[in-house]
Structure 1
Amino acid sequence: MARLDVTETFCQIAFPGHLHTQDSLRYASDFQFQDTDTLIVTYPKSGTTWMQEVLTLLFSRGDPTLSQTVPNWARAPWLEQYYCPEVLKASQGPRIITTHLPYHMLAPALQGSKVKVIYVARNPKDVAVSFYHFHKLAKFLPQPGSFGEFLDNFLDGTLYYGSWFDHVRGWTNQTRDNLNFFYITYEEMWQDLSGSLEKISAFLQCPLVAEKLNSIQKHCSFSNMKENAMVNYTQIPDEIMDHSKGCFMRKGIIGDWKTIFTEEQNLRFDQVFESEMGSSQLRFVWEHPEDCDPAESLARGTVMEKSILGAA
């Protein structure tokens, strides 16, 4: 199913038609979760692939066989993509399911469910940069134009998958009160992967000895994932993803936005962020600690701090 130039609109949000249909989006919104399911929720380019790898390795007790032989989309399928029903039919044991859908589209399906929900957020400046580069190589996404044009669309919430701000607010507002919910940031995982793995395994009630956690940490490092064909999307044909335009696993660092944002773009972004998220208790790490002026960070309220939500 190519449909590279098709856009599907569902609940006033646009999705790439290459992977989504009206039927697949309805299937997702009406989905019947099992209590043993684990749902990974992200806005695109926020650490989705990383968390898929982490959960695969946690559930396999550190054994990398599955993560090295089965593509990530087949072991942790996207709920809203057309192939998901067939993958889930063939699955055995606890299921890992992935979604980029906003909360309001899944809220009815999640009500009363004991499914474990893991939400991964990433600082939106790095999300915008990563999403911009992904648009360059993914032929099922529109051409991004200049970074300035793309950033305007990101801030306006008119890209595929909708607004980052709406997505994060929707999933983190009050959801801990009625969901089995765990929140973690990309930056927290990047700064302390070992500690993050311990928190995730505790949330999943999947305790592991130090040896197994060390194995998981090794196999889900960025360098290992970049070389893993089951993760790095090099298996996707060139007519779907133009690998000459870049790598799916690009940098994976904190603060890459500083290499492309102009001073004017950064100022506008900060203004929009304050307007959209000023009342939020969420905190984000914007820069690598070695690149960060502590006094400036403190003044801007962006000091490196752990997520205030943690596990529910």
Structure 2
Amino acid sequence: MSRMDVMEVFNGILFPGHLHTQDSLEIALKFPFQDTDILIASYPKSGTTWMQEMVTLISNRGDPHLSQTVPNWARAPWLEQHYFAAVLEASSITPRVITTHLPHHLLGLTLQSSKAKVIYVSRNPKDVLVSFYHFHKMANFLPEPGTFPEFLNRFLEGTLSYGSWFDHVKEWTSQTATMSNLLHITYEEMSLDPHGTIKRVSSFLQCPLMDDEVNNCVKHCSFSSMKDNKMVNYTQIAEEIMDHSKGSFMRKGKIGDWKNMFTEEQNQYFRSVFKSKMQNCILEFVWDEQDKEETDNEQIPLKNKEP
């Protein structure tokens, strides 16, 4: 299945046709989740691969064998992609780990009938934007990104593949008040406190770990470890699909890399759009505790507002 230049429009959202069909998207909305399933949900470039690796290692109590021998798209396949059913049927991995970039308004109904555990991963949108921009340069199944200012505008307008970051985050995180089976984890806390994050996730998955098992998880899901792991870094993907001469899938993994791309004017514009679109969000976005006023030295994760 090539369809490199095809884009599917589904419920008003663009999806790359190389990975998605109208049928695969329709099937995803009716998928019968099992109570033992683990669903990782995120907007692209928010730490999805990292969480896939973390969940694999936690489920295997820090043993890296599975994560080093089975590609992550086979360990935690994407629900909405065309190959999903075949991969899931061929897999004997338990519990089943499933990944999705679908917004909550499309997937929420089918999730209601299940007790599947959902981990939602979010990231500073400016870092998401920069990472997604570089990914467009190497992923031949995505449109050319154009200039960075053009890409920034499309991101803010919500017209990129997978839709609006703002809507995606607001929809999923708004469920934290009513869904006891949903855990919200940020990229920033994964980066700044990997031990604590792994303990939170393992507790949520009811898979408590010993200290040495936590340490093994931290070691094998570090950025450097994932960057060198062919089961994670997508170097096994054919060049006509991902051109690694134009960039690396595991690029930097840094917090605050947006500062290397944004001009001050672009930053101010982004801030104004962000403030407008996220004014009704239940989350308080705090990026630097030492300077809460007008700085953007992003160093700590999104925090839930106090009730």
Q: In which range does the TM-score fall when normalised by the shorter chain?
A: over 0.9
Partner of 1:262: 263
How big is the shift at 1:263? 1.1
Show the counterpart of 1:86.
86
C-alpha separation in 1, matches of 2:180 and 2:128: 26
Runs of 5+ consecutive residues of structure 1 not aligned to the other structure: 287-291
- Letter in structure 2 aligned against 1:118: I
Structure 2 unaligned regions, length at least 5: none
1:214 matched to which residue of 2?
A: 215
Q: Which whole-Å CA distance do the structure 2 matches of 1:281 and 1:19 have between them?
A: 32
In the aligned structure 2, how far is the partner of 1:118 from the partner of 1:300? 31
- The aligned counterpart of 2:172 is 171
Residue 277 of structure 1: how far off its partner (Å):
0.9
Cα displacement (A) at 1:298? 1.4
Instruction: Say whether the 8 Å CA contact 2:42–2:101 is kept in structure 1.
Output: yes
- Measured after TM superposition, the shift of residue 224 of structure 1 is 0.5
Q: Helix, strand or coil for the counterpart of 1:66?
A: helix
Quick one: percent identity of the two aligned structures? 63
| Equivalent residues of 2:176, 2:184 under 8 A apart | no
1:21-74 superposed Cα distances (whole Å, 9 cap, x missing partner): 011001101111000000000000000000000000011111101100110000
2:25 partner letter: L
Residue 276 (1) aligns with residue 243 (2): no
Q: Per-residue deviation at 1:113?
A: 1.1
Partner secondary structure for residue 242 of structure 2: coil
Return the TM-score normalized by structure 2.
Answer: 0.95
**Pairs within 5 Å for 1:1-312:** 1-92=1-92, 93-178=94-179, 180-284=181-285, 286=287, 294=290, 297-300=291-294, 305=300, 307-309=302-304
Give the aligned residue type for 2:227. Answer: K
* Contact 2:70-2:231 within 8 A present in 1 as well: yes
Report if the CA contact (8 A) 2:284-2:304 is conserved.
Answer: no
Is residue 79–residue 100 contact of structure 2 (8 Å, CA) maintained in 1?
Answer: yes
| DSSP-derived class of the 2:293 partner | helix
- TM-score, normalization: structure 1? 0.93
What secondary structure is seen at the aligned counterpart in 2 of 1:299? coil
Query: Whole-Å Cα distance in 2 between the matches of residues 82 and 159 of structure 1?
Result: 20
